[in-house]
Amino acid sequence: MEWEPSADAPVRPGRARWILAGLVTAAGAAMFVWTVRSGRADSALLFVGLPVVLALALVLIPGRTTHGRVFQITTALLLVTAVALHEGAICVILAAPLVYGAAHGTAALVRLGRNPYALVPIPLLLLSAVEGVRPDLRWHPEQTATAARVVALTPDEVWQRLARGPAPTAVRSLPLRLLGMPTPHHVTGTGLRPGDRWVFHYPHSSHGSGGQTVTEVTAARAGRVNFIVVEDSAITSRWLVWRHATVSWRPVGDHRTEVTVSLSYLRRLDPSWYFGPLQQVLMADGAGYLLDALALT
């Protein structure tokens, strides 16, 4: 009586499957090198396209636990990316849910390959990976975040406080604290007249100088001050490009004033459906930090 393997026994792949897995893996490695060298490291190609390609290769490689191999290789990918792009823990943490989701989702879909409709999302994922590869392939990269607060000050007192300029203060936002988002350690400049400048100096990090962001008053009138960014070498420029900012206020009665900070910026990370809302939340907290730095509480 001849022995027959049970249904639960792992099946050894043929030579063709090994070759295909090797080709897909090589394509993933080439995609990584090309993405970095061509300056597209902020695009969806790195955060979506590469994990999808690697997941396809991992599904083809033999082993007992597909998702276990996907997790190991995806984690290694995140660490290698952090080193290759000289990024810190912030970028790794922000991108990790997207990368893990794309990789494990692709692996699960391929495992369900008996149903041809289960494979439909894979080409759609690869199509979405082109976002950010070219400037005209971006979706709403210009964003604005706001924060408002009612303070126990009159409008005239708000003007006087603003004229002193901001000063570094403790970060109250829990997301900003958990991520260790960089905040200015020194601020120079005062005044609200057109041409007055506020300079936000960021601390040095393991990647070098933290740089600075230089803002200039362009217009000031009762209840509103407009700023533009004339120079930005801060570490935050890895993730966004500052455009302009507005501080406005209005009386709400009983010696109280509502103050609103609006920050306009160009998002540098794609895809938009993931990094857009994420940066929107973080930048709203950043606007709240600026209110604290202006001593308006």
Instruction: Give me the domains of the chain, ranges plus CATH numbers.
Output: 15-128 (no CATH), 142-293 (3.30.530.20)
Q: How confident is the model at residue 33 (pLDDT cuts 50, 70, 90)?
A: low
Mean per-residue pLDDT of the chain? 77
Q: Percentage of the chain with pLDDT > 70?
A: 66
pLDDT: which is higher, 79 or 228: 228
pLDDT: which is higher, 15 or 121: 121
The pLDDT assigned to 150 comes to 93
- The pLDDT of 196-207, averaged and rounded, is 79
The pLDDT assigned to 9 comes to 43
Residue 120: how many other CB atoms lie within 10 Å: 10
Residue 93: how many other CB atoms lie within 10 Å: 13
The pLDDT assigned to 148 comes to 95
Q: Percentage of the chain with pLDDT > 90?
A: 32
In this predicted model, what pLDDT tens digit does every residue of 81-126 receive, in sequence order?
655 555 555 677 788 888 788 877 777 777 776 666 666 677 777 7
The pLDDT assigned to 121 comes to 72
The answer to whether the peptide bond before residue 271 is cis (omega within 30 degrees of 0) is yes
In this predicted model, what pLDDT tens digit does every residue of 48-81 receive, in sequence order?
555 666 666 655 555 556 677 677 677 766 766 6
pLDDT: which is higher, 188 or 54: 188
**Least reliable range by pLDDT among 19-23, 39-43, 128-132, 249-253:** 39-43
Please state, in angstroms and rounded to a whole number, the distance separating the CA atoms of residues 193 and 225: 9
- The pLDDT of 24-43, averaged and rounded, is 56
Please state, in angstroms and rounded to a whole number, the distance separating the CA atoms of residues 37 and 137: 19
Residue 8 has pLDDT above 90, yes or no: no
Please state, in angstroms and rounded to a whole number, the distance separating the CA atoms of residues 159 and 71: 54
Contacts 24+ apart (CB under 8 A), 80-87: 81/32, 81/46, 84/32, 84/36, 85/36, 85/41, 86/207, 87/238
- The pLDDT of 4-25, averaged and rounded, is 52
